[in-house]
Structure 1
Amino acid sequence: MISEPEMVGDSAAWPQSETATSEDRSPSPRGRRPWLWAVGGAVTASAVWAGGLYAYGPGAGVDTRGYRVAEGLCAKVKLSALSADLGKRAEDPAEMVDEHSALDKIMCGYHFESTAKQPPGVSVQYKVEVVLETHKKTDPEPEFEALVNQPSWLDGLPPRPEEVPALGEKAFLTGMGEDEDPRLRVLDGGAVLSLEVGAEVGYDEDYYEEQGADMEDITPDLSAMPPLMVEDMRELMSVFKGTS
């Protein structure tokens, strides 16, 4: 959970959708401001992913189970369960696509305006990130559980993953502790999928100055997200396979 002062009513700035296709470089998304909430998740995963491109050697290929990376897929992901809880989905999703002979990747970013009543001078926004990686030359299974069990860069503590049955070949939920963002990771053949939910709290500094009051420490409760994430993961797996 990220908390930073900002004016109520200002929507979090999201990068414009763009597509990068390259055999030789990692994607470099441009935007008005970074996805701060995802620093501990997608950025770390992207670094491992980028390094992995050089570590992979030639192979006979991996069964990607029908998953594919293509432009426009982010708009087809409905996130029905999360949408019913988080509020109205704002703006078009941010999309980044990168294709490589060893690994294809698509990242989708979604922004939700909370409809729940908040204290005066406070706004809460939710962000959901979806990632699909299709490994075409090297089986990702040996590294999958290792990545799931990596300590958080914030506190260095073990993530205490919880296994989710009947979802792909292997699936784990992490981020169930206090002040952590829940994340669901799924391995299905040569495909690795992740779904993460985060919250950002905005404070109207002018309001608090006028009222002569201290800013309230608001921490959105994300404890109800995991079952909704599992439900939406089944939906987006179908989207990325082209079966829905």
Structure 2
Amino acid sequence: MHQSYGQPSPQPPPLGQSAPIECSYPADAGTALRLSRAAELARWRSPKTWASLAAFPLIVVVPRIIQTITRSSLSNPGLSGIIGSYFAVFAFALIVGALVTAVRLMRPNPQVTEYAAAGIRMRVRYDLHSMEVALATGTTTVIYHQIEDLAVIGGAVFIRPRTGSGFALPRELVPAPALALIRDGRRPGRGPTGNPEVGGTHGAPPTPNPFAGPHPHDNSFESANQVPEGKVSFVPRERGGWQRQFRAWLWPATAVVITSVVGAGALIGLRSADRVDTDGYLGTTPDTRGYGVVDNLCATLDFAAMASAGFKAQDNGPKASAYTVNRHPALDTADCLQEFVKAENQARGRLTISVYVHKQSNPIPAFRAGLETAGQQPALGGSTPEIEEVAGLGDIAYLVYEAKGLKTTLRVRDGWFVYDASWQAWGTAGPGGLSRNDQRKVLTDIATEALPRLRQ
């Protein structure tokens, strides 16, 4: 028995004894915009949309991931910083996507207008296992169990098959009996070989419609399969139009809010965790690790590494050797300046070592800033400084090579204790003085011996 819907009727359309159901609807001036809005909102239901939103920030943070892997980890925030950046970009992409959707909701989609412009008639025929959609752009047959997404959005129904693009139809073209037929066909086990015939007798009793309320008919069925042969029931009464539109807008708006809150919370939490992981970036409790200053730092240091490199400490002259010490409730400092000469070729250089015990202010932010800015500006000799990480000294240590190898500085931080040592050469550098490798070895060897001696 053929049933036709789409024409105005004062009563809800009845569900007949069997398929097919044929519907026809002439589009009016607002149909294209209505269907365009439904199709646009349905994008947020697609896994592809969320996969794209998730992939975009991943592409953005790839350079940072590579930097973390290949570059020194001294100034990089590590995994937690990468995750925090990911969520920040994801939240940005989500907001941009929501704004783009809002703009698209204001105007009809040209592809939808091709088949839903005012005056164009649309037809759909619902059979037992498939639907034939005849539009101005062509005729398509969609099998029910191959429909991936089915959503009633405002005054439209959005259908997305597993293959091909989704499309929106006016609600008038998809009456409740046809919608029930589609939903039955999408259930697991239903299909061309497993869907029971509509109009057949079924053992399960009909399910009362909780939304219909008192009704003059004794029979009310929620699905096409529940209509026994020879019986006709009114379609369950649907919610009002404003309720359908509210529900259509509610879930994408909720998704945007929840994702933004989760992303912001994760970013704040990871930022806090990142600062904890970087040795107390925001710490306010002094962490001196038992370090202290001594009255004569030069006498405490061991310069055996310089002797191994062929240099001898000078013991005469006004600036051959000097030391200072200062103690204060906030900061203790000690300095040592020692000049060296190489008898072989009279190559000369000066070793300057300073130690700082911070007892009130946290030196970690300033130490990190020094590391991150050390290679930004050319220094002595016009060359750009080079940075090299040093392992095994304190919490963090690095070397700065300047002036084409004539000056090298070693900086070490262990808690709130900072150790600085620099070698400034003049005369003969390179093979005749201290090569780059020799400078690294001399400075790290002296520091390795000095740090334990400065613990009190």
More contact order relative to length (CA 8 Å, sep ≥ 6): 1
Q: Does 1:112 align with 2:340?
A: yes
1:139 CA drift (Å): 1.6
- 1:222 is matched with 435
Give the 3-state SS of the residue equivalent to 2:386 in structure 1.
Answer: coil
Tell me, yes or no, if structure 1 residue 240 matches structure 2 residue 454. yes
**Which 5+ residue runs of structure 1 have no aligned equivalent?**
1-58, 202-217
Show CA shifts across 1:43-87 (max 9, x none): xxxxxxxxxxxxxxxx95411111111212321211221222142
Report which stretch shifted further, 181-190 or 222-231: 222-231
In 1, are the aligned partners of 2:322 and 2:336 still within 8 Å (CA)? yes
d(CA) in 2 for partners of 1:129, 1:144: 18
Task: Report which of the two has the higher share of helix.
Answer: 2
Percent identity over the alignment is 27
Mapped contact 1:173–1:185 kept (Cα < 8 A):
yes
Long gaps (5+) in structure 2:
1-282
Distance change in 2, residues 1:93/1:239 (3 Å): farther
Once the two structures are superposed, the pairs formed by residues 61-210 of structure 1 within 5 Å of their partners are 61-91=285-315, 93-116=321-344, 118=345, 123-148=346-371, 149-150=373-374, 151-154=377-380, 158-175=384-401, 178-201=404-427
CA distance in 2 between counterparts of 1:97 and 1:164 reads 27
Residues of 2 paired with 1:158 and 1:181: CA distance?
12
Tell me the SS of whatever aligns to 2:399: strand
**TM-score, structure 2 normalization:** 0.33
* Aligned CA-pair RMSD: 2.3
What CA distance in whole angstroms lies between the structure 1 residues aligned with 2:435 and 2:322?
22
Q: TM-score scaled by structure 1?
A: 0.60
Moved over 2 A (4+): 148-160, 218-222
Bigger-Rg structure (1/2): 2
Q: After superposition, give the CA deviation of every residue in 1:153-184 in whole Å (9 maximum; x if it has no partner).
A: 44676533111112100000111661441111
Q: Is the 8 A contact 1:139 1:190 kept in 2?
A: yes
Q: Secondary structure at the match of 1:241?
A: coil
Partner Cα distance (1:184, 1:75) in 2: 20
Distance 2:367 2:442 in 1: 22
Q: Figure out how many residues of one structure are paired with residues of the other and give that number.
A: 163
> Secondary structure of the equivalent of 1:161?
strand
Asked if 2 retains the 8 angstrom alpha-carbon contact of 1:131 and 1:195, the reply is yes
Asked if the contact 1:73–1:240 (Cα under 8 Å) also holds between the matched residues in 2, the reply is: no
